[in-house]
Structure 1
Amino acid sequence: MHALILAAGMGKRLGEYTKNQTKCMVRVNGVTLIERALDALVNIDISKIILVVGYEGEKLREFIGDNYKGIKVKYVFNDVYNKTNNIYSLGLASEYLAEDDTILLESDLIFEEGILHKVIQDPNPNIAVVAPFESWMDGTVTVLNEENDIVSFVPKKGFKWNNCKDYYKTVNIYKFSKEFSKNCYIPFLKAYIQALGNNEYYEQVLRVMTYIDNLNLKAFKLTNEKWYEIDDVQDLDIAEVLFADFENELKMYQKRFGGYWRFPKLKDFCYLVNPYFPNEKMLDEFKSNFDVLLSEYPSGLNTQNLLASKMFGCRVQQILVGNGAAELIRGVFKAFKGTVGVTFPTFNEYPESAGYDRVKKFIPKNDDFSYTVDELKEFSKDVDALLLINPDNPSGHFMTKEEVLDLLVYLKAENKYLIYDESFVDFAGEDAMFTLINSELLESNKNLIVIKSISKSYGVPGARLGVLANGDIDLIAKIRSELSIWNINSFGEYFLQIIGKYQDRYAKACVKISEERDRFYEELSKICFLRVIPTKANYFLCEVTDRFTSGELTRLLLNKYSIFIKDCTGKIAFENKQYVRIAVRDFEDNNFIISKLKEIENN
């Protein structure tokens, strides 16, 4: 068996990366694509490697040479690479297909070496490697029957999103027997080129063969194996994350700050969201209005504030809508110029927005990072405002409504502000949840600034919504001056418009997550190397007590199981301490992480 690699293309979509070199010379984490492919091929039983080159082909030949780690390398030159597609390149090398069994692959792929081992070991002589369709994929897809025969190849023009659950994307790795190539594929390949020209793709030949012949080509379905096709700079960026080494993988995920839907196999236990809302009916309503929402301008800030006042039952003059809570937090500290007391550990957006020169730190002297109203009163004496996140992030410490109101009365008498973040209070439980967004309360306590992240509590982080409420019209005006008139998109606006119909379902979802949290706590507490701190939020702060540092555990879960948790290393108050934060997801996902933690425990 030998290998045939198609590497003639120009890779224009990669811009500067392919200005003076072919696509397979692009480096992913310091290693070229072609070296990765050749190293994988060297470790399987092949006799030689055939490279079809074109654009900057001499540079590639000079880089690889005629022998790669003991395997002979032959070159086929496509001199009209800028006028043809890969069907022509394969046609030029067709004699090699007829010469021996062949592993055929494209040079813009990055993949786990184990894929080739599995393909070689598979008893079927003719194989197309495919993967379940995911949103990032582009190009030809296949439809399979129950025996994993390829029933049809579906080109871009025939692709239908309604059928995407039935599609399998071609990975562009094939195993062809000599007999299949000689008696079936090559004759069709030559006839197709003669009829339709050189500017086509070799997969189209397989598509035609499914119509008029028994293709005898089995699909080899990937499951959790890593692979990626690199066509542009975004593909390259994602591939560098997927194929990062053990030490750097975590850093590369962390610096993305979200967008993890690009990595469908990743289980995100780091970022916080409501797994039980929105419900299916609400999502269907969004889908039915998708075209209008995408193609029309949103309303300005006045309308957004009106919708928020309706949602929370306060006066429109008392509330602002932000592009997530983060925008409003920054607006607060641009409008408010005094010092602020912050209990650490905390959500870093607050001290970073205020500036650490304005922040006075309070670090509770206990392992759970809990505190009392009296401690906060004493701490607040030397500041102009006190921040209270309730439940706190990341500790999960919770204060009752009576305790918070007691603190508010004290701070009002002392002429100090209470900046109160209630982003997670809806998860406190049916008998504990409450809100301070109340017209009368805001009117009588103008020192109260309430911030709430709708993205987190309502499970719509992609809509980027948050609200700020305050009874001081002048302060609201100052904060509003920091916001754009169109800071909310149409999807966020529509959420505010229709949420009233779904508030009952939302309340049930919050109760459901609080119940699942309590169950999850019992299971998580059984892991011998974790000390789990009780919480009223949808996350747990856990001390890593044995066997690992917090960073080691976080990297292990990510590298081995594609589970992403929050490593709290580097946060103020965690110096020389080992803490992680684990989000509460739904029943199935929570059981998944528990099972993997138990595997680690038992090993």
Structure 2
Amino acid sequence: MQAIILAAGMGKRLGALTRNNTKCMVQVNGVTLIERMMKQLDRLSPSLEKIVIVTGYEGEKLKTFLSRLDISTPVEYVDNPLYASTNNIYSLYLAKEHLLQDDTLLFESDLIFEDSVIDALLRHPYPSLALVAKFESWMDGTVVTLDEDDNIRQFIPGSKFSYKKKTEYFKTVNIYKFSREFSRTHYVPFLTAYSKALGNNEYYEQVLRVIALLDKPEIKALRLGGEAWYEIDDIQDLDIAASIFTPDREEHLRLMESRYGGYWRYPRIRDFCYLVNPYFPNKRLMSELKANFERLVREYPSGMRVNSLLAAKYFGISQEYICIGNGAAELIKALMSRLEGKMGVIYPTFEEYPNRLKPDMVVPFHTASRNFTYTADDLMEFFSGKDIGTLLLVNPGNPSGF
């Protein structure tokens, strides 16, 4: 068996990180993508007989870097001189003779994954497989649909994607296992014909899209379960990959907590932040939002007068007592600018209030009890004689909850 890694791309969406280096030289937690992948493959030796790398942009730098790694598996290179004007179908076309020589593990170089991802591919008895994962809303690129036996019914490029069918989709992980026989009878002949007919500015998965239409395509899908993987196309992907793959548990926790609720790219995480309300919006409101989604997106929202009128209606109070704000922080800032004199603050508290004042305008009261309790008498005794114009009472107390 051999491995082929496509590493010719420029990675323009990563900006300055790929200005002088190819995409796979980007680091995640201090280790380049290509070094991590090479070491994962090297552990398969001696059953893995060689690693073929298709280079292009900054290829010489990549070769120099790899020559310094302690890799025992033989490495061969295929150069793509047209990397700037072609896509990865041409990179794989240049390596087609290697595909004909042996069973192949095919990788794109912008991936990061657990060892168990490769193990799942190797354990499966079927000779030719496409690794896939259940589609999530943040994914893009090629997806597939499967039947109950994991036969690939259809390869669907991004241009043909339909959100109405998203529950049926599986995302291609861009890791494949091709048997030599599959490459000889199916992939390489179709790759050659496709390139000649439609040019080289395409993706190699387009060839699989054509093969999937055959009566016997000879390739199946392997669905990943909980194995971690990520494709890195931009700096947001890089940030998320760092939080997923850090080996340090404390650092992993720190990186996750610093997202403050931005967990929508982590499908197996449940967010119990106090701002998350499991009871609202209810099903009826969600249905109404969905039914009016296009209008809500396209039309400009109502102004403050109309919103305050609606709030007054639903809360049963006079419109003149309503002040509409774009979140509590905006209203707190406005309120603090209108208060006169110093403000008494009971600590610990919701810091948004005192942070809006100069330090010398805050008169602090620190609770003596370990569970932050205090009484009205405690407050009256402490603030009696203090020169304050306002006393801040947060109800319920933050962070005590009293």
Report the TM-score when normalising by structure 2. Answer: 0.93
**Aligned partners of 2:8, 2:212: CA distance in 1, in Å?**
27
How do 1:320-359 and structure 2 match up within 5 A?
320-359=323-362
* 2:220 paired residue among 204, 218, 221: 218
8 Å CA contact retained: 1:305, 1:316: yes
8 Å CA contact retained: 1:66, 1:74: no
Deviation at 1:339, TM superposition (A): 2.5
Q: Secondary structure, in 3 states, of the residue corresponding to 1:183?
A: helix
Deviation at 1:295, TM superposition (A): 1.6
**Aligned partners of 1:217, 1:271: CA distance in 2, in Å?**
47
2:320 matched to which residue of 1? 317
* 1:204 paired residue among 199, 203, 206: 206
Q: Secondary structure, in 3 states, of the residue corresponding to 1:211?
A: coil
* 2:258 paired residue among 233, 255, 259: 255
- 1:270-299 deviations in whole A, cap 9, x for unaligned? 342220111111111111211122122223
**Aligned partners of 2:38, 2:346: CA distance in 1, in Å?**
54
Identity over aligned pairs, percent = 54
* 1:50 paired residue among 43, 49, 52: 52
Q: Which has the higher helix share?
A: 1
1:121 matched to which residue of 2? 123
Deviation at 1:380, TM superposition (A): 4.0
Task: Name the CA shift for 1:216/1:374 in 2 (closer, same or farther; >3 Å).
Answer: farther
**Aligned partners of 2:53, 2:228: CA distance in 1, in Å?**
24
2:273 matched to which residue of 1? 270
1:394 matched to which residue of 2? 399
1:295 matched to which residue of 2? 298
1:568 matched to which residue of 2? none
Structure 1 letter corresponding to 2:43: N
Deviation at 1:371, TM superposition (A): 2.7
- 1:77-96 deviations in whole A, cap 9, x for unaligned? 00111121111111111111
Deviation at 1:345, TM superposition (A): 2.7
Q: Secondary structure, in 3 states, of the residue corresponding to 1:340?
A: strand
1:408 matched to which residue of 2? none
Deviation at 1:135, TM superposition (A): 1.1
Deviation at 1:66, TM superposition (A): 8.3
When structure 1 is superposed on structure 2, of 381-390 and 282-291 the one drifting more is: 381-390
The alignment status of 1:105 with 2:107, answered yes or no, reads yes
- 1:446-483 deviations in whole A, cap 9, x for unaligned? xxxxxxxxxxxxxxxxxxxxxxxxxxxxxxxxxxxxxx
Question: What is the number of equivalent residue pairs in this alignment?
Answer: 397
Q: Gaps (5+ residues) in structure 1? A: 398-603
How do 1:492-507 and structure 2 match up within 5 A?
none
Deviation at 1:62, TM superposition (A): 1.1
**Aligned partners of 2:232, 2:341: CA distance in 1, in Å?**
50
* 2:157 paired residue among 155, 158, 164: 155
How do 1:135-214 and structure 2 match up within 5 A?
135-214=137-216
**Aligned partners of 1:293, 1:23: CA distance in 2, in Å?**
39
Q: Secondary structure, in 3 states, of the residue corresponding to 1:153?
A: strand
- 1:201-247 deviations in whole A, cap 9, x for unaligned? 11111111111241232222222222211112222222222223323
1:598 matched to which residue of 2? none
How do 1:409-558 and structure 2 match up within 5 A?
none
Structure 2 letter corresponding to 1:53: T
**Aligned partners of 2:93, 2:137: CA distance in 1, in Å?**
32
Deviation at 1:337, TM superposition (A): 4.1
Q: Secondary structure, in 3 states, of the residue corresponding to 1:37?
A: helix
How do 1:78-93 and structure 2 match up within 5 A?
78-93=80-95
Q: Secondary structure, in 3 states, of the residue corresponding to 1:322?
A: coil
2:25 matched to which residue of 1? 25
2:4 matched to which residue of 1? 4
1:35 matched to which residue of 2? 35
Task: Name the CA shift for 1:78/1:66 in 2 (closer, same or farther; >3 Å).
Answer: farther
**Aligned partners of 2:178, 2:331: CA distance in 1, in Å?**
59
The alignment status of 1:368 with 2:371, answered yes or no, reads yes
Q: Secondary structure, in 3 states, of the residue corresponding to 1:242?
A: helix
Structure 2 letter corresponding to 1:273: V
Task: Name the CA shift for 1:307/1:147 in 2 (closer, same or farther; >3 Å).
Answer: same
Task: Name the CA shift for 1:89/1:271 in 2 (closer, same or farther; >3 Å).
Answer: farther
**Aligned partners of 1:157, 1:127: CA distance in 2, in Å?**
24
Deviation at 1:104, TM superposition (A): 0.5
**Aligned partners of 1:130, 1:209: CA distance in 2, in Å?**
17
When the two chains are superposed, the root-mean-square deviation of aligned CA atoms in Å is 1.9
- 1:18-69 deviations in whole A, cap 9, x for unaligned? 1111111112222211112112212224222111011111111111128742
Q: Gaps (5+ residues) in structure 2? A: none
Deviation at 1:107, TM superposition (A): 0.7
**Aligned partners of 1:172, 1:337: CA distance in 2, in Å?**
62
2:76 matched to which residue of 1? 74
Deviation at 1:308, TM superposition (A): 2.3
8 Å CA contact retained: 2:261, 2:273: no
1:283 matched to which residue of 2? 286
Deviation at 1:314, TM superposition (A): 2.3
